[in-house]
Amino acid sequence: MPVVSHDMLIKVACAIGGEDAAKIIEVLSQNDEMTEDEIVSKTGIKLNDARKMLYKLYEHSIVGLRRVRSKDTGWFTFYWRIQLDQVEGFIIGQKKRILEKLEKRLEYENSHSFYYCYTPGCKRLSFEEATEYLFRCPKCNKPLSYYDNSKIIESIRKKIEKIKSELNE
Ligand SMILES: [Zn+2]
């Protein structure tokens, strides 16, 4: 895996917590460590929302924290930072999940024949489903004919190959 790019980092944040998470990661990426107050003043996100989002990112190990207790007040200050190595792990995990889904999909495409009415907006049916509907489309009632899914299979195979090569980098 190459070093995580800034774009990828923001994408990961977005996938976890949407726009607020992306804003927080953006400002955190410009600093080694930040307190919650600093994050709030840089992002304009309300303290409670920022805190919730930081913990959400923390649950995925994307950010880490360091607590420092004030000798005067006894209160804790939290210093947050990005954990880039964990972001890599998150991305690898996501890719593995996608790969698994694609492999299941490929198996499904390979082990079924499909039938289609060739009307835009209608869905193709598996042989089993087509039999159930006596080879008439349940939506538009046109006859169903064999649908060649070799292009779909090819495109899934390509996606699988791409992810596998990315995982092996
Ligand atoms: Zn149809």
pLDDT tens per residue across span 77-127:
999 999 998 998 899 999 999 999 999 999 999 999 999 999 999 999 999
CA 130 to ligand 1 centroid distance, Å: 11
Final residue before a domain boundary, out of 33, 56, 88: 88
- Tell me, in angstroms, the distance from the centre of ligand 1 to residue 135's CA: 11
Q: Are 39 and 50 in contact (CB under 8 A)?
A: yes
For the stretch 38-46, contacts whose Cβ atoms lie closer than 8 Å and that sit 24 or more positions apart, written own/partner, are 39/80, 45/20
Supply the pTM of this predicted model.
Answer: 0.71
**Measured in angstroms, how far is the CA atom of residue 114 from the centroid of ligand 1?**
13
Same structural domain, 22 and 81: yes
Q: Is residue 144 part of a domain?
A: yes
**CATH number, residue 18:** 1.10.10.10
Question: What DSSP character marks residue 26?
Answer: H
What's the pLDDT tens digit per position in 42-64?
999 999 999 999 999 999 999 99
Residues spanned by the domain of 123:
112-168
Is 131 a domain residue? yes
Contact 123, 137 (CB under 8 A): no
Domain stop point among 55, 88, 121: 88
